[in-house]
Amino acid sequence: MSALSPQLEQLYASFSSLNMEGGWHRRFPALWPQPRENFLPHTWHYADVRPILDRAGDLVDTEFAERRNLTMFNPVEGNIYSTVRTIVAAYQMVKPGEVARAHRHTPNALRMILEGRGTYTVVDGKEVEMRPGDVLLTPNWCWHAHENKGAENCYWMDFLDVPLVHLLEPMFYEPHPDGLEQQVERLDEAPIAFRFEETCAALADAQPSATHGMLKATTLGPAQLATLALDVIEIEPGQAGLPIRETANAIYAVMRGSGELTIGGTASEWRFGDTVAVPAWREHSLRAGPDGAMLLKVSDRTLMQKLGWYRHQAADGQ
Tens digits of residue pLDDT in 145-168: 999 999 999 999 999 999 999 999
Say if domain 198-314 classifies as CATH 1.10.540.10: no
pLDDT (0 to 100) of residue 156: 98
Q: Is 76 left (phi over 0), alpha (psi -120 to 50) or beta?
A: beta
pLDDT band, very low/low/confident/very high, at 60 (cuts 50, 70, 90): confident
Calpha distance 250→276 (Å, rounded) = 8
Q: Nearest-CA neighbor of 245 among 276, 279, 216?
A: 279
pLDDT at 316 over 70: no
Beta-ladder partners of 219: 231
Secondary structure percentages of the chain, helix, strand, coil, to 5? 15, 40, 45
For 111-146, write each residue's pLDDT tens digit: 999 999 999 999 999 999 999 999 999 999 999 999
Mean pLDDT for the chain?
Answer: 95
Calpha distance 46→91 (Å, rounded) = 9
Q: Residue 60, Cβ neighbours under 10 Å: how many?
A: 13
Question: Are the CB atoms for 151 and 143 separated by under 8 Å?
Answer: no
Q: Nearest-CA neighbor of 140 among 225, 230, 231?
A: 225
For 186-215, write each residue's pLDDT tens digit: 999 999 999 999 999 999 999 999 999 999
pLDDT (0 to 100) of residue 26: 85
Kindly report the backbone phi and psi dihedral angles of residue 128, in degrees, each rounded to the nearest multiple of 5, phi listed first: -135, 135
Calpha distance 35→63 (Å, rounded) = 43
pLDDT at 317 over 60: no
Question: pTM of this prediction?
Answer: 0.94
pLDDT (0 to 100) of residue 137: 98
pLDDT (0 to 100) of residue 264: 87
Which residue ranges does the chain devote to CATH 2.60.120.10?
Answer: 42-195, 198-314
The percentage of residues in the chain with a pLDDT greater than 90, rounded to a whole number, is 88
Q: Could you tell me which CATH number the domain at 42-195 has?
A: 2.60.120.10
Calpha distance 88→161 (Å, rounded) = 6
| C-alpha dihedral, 177 to 149 to 196 to 251, nearest 10° | 50
pLDDT at 66 over 90: no
| C-alpha dihedral, 246 to 39 to 218 to 69, nearest 10° | -170
**Average pLDDT of 162-186?**
97
